[in-house]
Each structure stands twice: as structure tokens, then as C-alpha cells.
């Protein structure tokens, strides 16, 4: 085995997981290729910056900003213990990426703690997602702009879910989702920027929902999610979590202005002896309540 330190540094640089080191001041001293791939930020853009500059804007599922309060790197340097968790980082393009993080303190030769290392990996099933995407593209079930399922696919999914409910009483919910102030974004920043907002929200939604859920583009700036096997409380958790994660999506305009996107959601569960049109109408009514109450929120029937 090669004992040259540069061999191990090169090996670490090319592993698939993201790896970075910080010193006691939380200044980033090392950034590998995996970190660049998962975040969109190159080594030159990150080295020398501080973790608390909030570049990646780590948040948990409740929307708490961990870089400001609750940083696992700080905790590891404080207590000398390893820390793990599931968080969402903000990609350079603005959308949210779910990652699993593992943090360990770094010890100097004298036994003191001189920094910490964080290893993070994509928390989505990428291989399965790629396979599904290719299959939907082949069958013309994919929306070209957002790369999400299109309305045709969603309608088929709804029909299947309703049939399963009628036979097996398998509960499911529907979330009607609308991008807030989308017309203003188009008018103020142009349709190209509006398209990037839709793409950012689409990526954030697809990565924040559960693997069993389906979200697609219903039309225009509207999305729709079919949420499987949920009671009222679980549906509320999924809807409110989606609003929180989307609220932390930021898109750059052509003028390099950061646009903070948000969504409104109307959610409801299927009921006995109702048609899909009634279910979708009720979800739309709940969406209208959310938008009338100030947007950036979820209303669950």
C-alpha cells in the first residue's frame, strides 16, 4: 500500500461522497470533488470561506437554519463526539438537496481538537429516479421543462390510486401546489427566470417528498402531488414540510438578483364514493384558502 500522503489526499478527493474540513473558526480548509458535484460549488469558490457564511444554508426538515444555530461541526468540536443527521443543503442553482451528514472532530498531535470533518451523501435514490425518468420520457409522460411527470401521468396515477382505494381502502391524499407570485416573477425578471423558478421548485419538491409519493407538473405554475398511505396528520406533516423546504429555494435572475421562491398548498384526503373531480376541486379550494391567507403556507382539509 502506498504510504505517500498525497496518495490518500488524491483518493479522498475523488470519492463520490462530499468531504470538507473546517478549522476551529469554521473556516473551510478542504473541499473535495464529491462536495463540488453535490453542491455545484467549486473548490475555488469555497476554500477560505466560513461555514457560518451560510453558503449552503443547511436546514433540517422543520426549516431550522443549522449554519446559524445547531451546526453539527460546532457540536463535534465542542463535545469531541461524532454527529449524524439528515439535512437539506441549498445547491448553487438554488434548489434543495437532501443529504445525510456524518461529522467527526479532528485531533491534533497533542490531543486537542483542531477542527472537524463533514462527510455528506445524496439522500435520494438516484439510480431508481434515473430509471423512472427514462421510462417516463420513453412513454411521453415527462414534462419537458421540469423533468417531472406530466399531467397525463398524474391523471393515470390518480385513477390507479382511486381504484386501489375503492377495492382495498388504501388511503391517499392529494396536494394542489402553486408557485406564489409567479406572474410577478415573469413580469419583473422575464420568462427565462420564471422557467428556472419552476425548475428549482420542481427539483426541491421531488427531493423533499417521500419515495412512495408522486409529484408532477399539472400545468403552468401548478404542481400536483399524490401522497400514498396517509392519515390526516401525516398529510399535514408532508404538506407543511414541503412549504418549509420550498421557502428556502433561491433562484438567480439574469441580473444576478436572488429570488426567494415559495409555494402555497391545498391538501385533502380521498373520501368514500367520490369522483376524482370532487377530490381535485376540494384540493383547489384548500389551495385558494392558502393563497387568500397570505401564501407560503399549507391548508389541509
Same domain, 221 and 86: no
pTM above 0.75, yes or no: no
143, 213, 221, 296: the active-site residue? 221
Low-confidence spans in the chain with pLDDT less than 50: 1-3
Judgement on whether residues 81 and 215 belong to the same structural domain of the protein = no
* Residues 130 and 232 reside in one and the same domain: yes
Give the range of the structural domain holding residue 62, as residue numbers without chain letter.
5-122
Q: Is 221 a catalytic residue?
A: yes
pLDDT of res. 91: 92
Identify the pLDDT of residue 24: 93
**How much is the pLDDT for 234?**
94
pLDDT the model gives residue 128: 60
Residues 6+ apart with CB under 8 A from 170: 161, 164, 228, 229
- 203 shares a domain with 149: yes
Question: What pLDDT score does 4 carry?
Answer: 55
Angle between helical axes of 182-189 and 191-208 (0-180°, round to 10): 140
State the total domains in the chain. Answer: 2
233-237's contacts with Cβ under 8 Å and 24+ in sequence apart are 235/173, 235/175, 235/267, 235/268, 235/269, 235/300, 236/267, 236/298, 236/300
Instruction: List Cα–Cα distances, 10 to 1, 4, 170, in angstroms.
Output: 14, 10, 51
pLDDT tens, position by position, 66-112: 887 888 999 999 999 999 988 999 999 888 888 999 999 999 889 89
Amino acid at each position: 500500500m502506498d504510504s505517500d500522503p498525497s496518495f490518500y489526499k488524491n483518493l479522498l478527493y475523488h470519492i463520490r461522497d462530499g468531504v470538507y474540513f473546517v478549522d476551529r473558526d469554521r473556516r473551510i480548509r478542504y473541499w473535495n470533488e464529491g462536495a463540488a458535484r453535490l453542491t455545484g460549488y467549486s473548490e475555488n469558490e469555497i476554500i477560505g470561506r466560513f461555514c457560518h457564511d451560510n453558503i449552503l444554508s443547511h436546514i433540517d426538515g422543520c426549516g431550522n437554519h443549522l449554519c446559524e444555530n445547531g451546526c453539527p461541526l460546532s457540536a463535534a468540536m465542542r463535545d469531541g463526539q461524532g454527529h449524524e443527521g439528515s439535512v437539506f443543503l441549498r445547491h448553487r442553482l438554488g434548489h434543495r438537496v437532501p443529504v445525510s451528514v456524518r461529522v467527526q472532530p479532528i485531533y491534533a498531535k497533542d490531543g486537542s481538537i483542531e477542527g472537524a470533518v463533514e462527510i455528506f451523501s445524496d439522500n435520494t435514490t438516484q439510480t431508481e429516479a434515473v430509471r423512472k425518468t427514462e421510462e417516463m420520457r420513453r412513454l411521453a409522460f415527462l414534462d419537458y421543462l421540469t423533468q417531472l411527470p406530466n399531467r397525463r401521468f398524474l391523471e393515470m396515477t390518480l385513477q390507479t390510486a382511486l381504484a386501489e382505494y375503492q377495492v382495498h381502502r388504501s388511503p391517499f391524499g392529494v396536494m394542489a401546489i402553486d408557485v406564489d407570485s409567479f406572474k410577478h416573477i415573469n413580469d419583473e425578471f422575464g420568462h427565462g427566470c420564471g422557467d428556472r423558478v419552476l425548475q428549482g421548485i420542481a427539483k426541491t419538491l421531488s427531493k423533499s417528498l417521500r419515495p412512495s409519493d408522486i409529484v408532477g407538473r399539472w400545468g403552468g405554475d401548478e404542481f400536483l402531488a399524490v401522497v400514498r398511505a396517509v392519515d390526516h396528520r401525516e398529510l399535514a406533516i408532508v404538506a407543511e414540510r414541503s412549504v418549509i423546504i420550498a421557502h428556502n429555494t433561491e433562484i438567480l435572475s439574469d441580473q444576478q438578483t436572488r429570488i426567494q421562491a415559495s409555494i402555497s398548498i391545498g391538501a385533502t384526503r380521498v373520501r368514500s364514493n367520490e369522483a376524482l373531480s370532487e377530490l381535485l376541486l376540494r384540493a383547489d379550494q384548500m389551495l385558494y384558502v392558502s393563497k387568500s391567507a397570505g401564501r407560503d403556507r399549507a391548508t389541509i382539509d
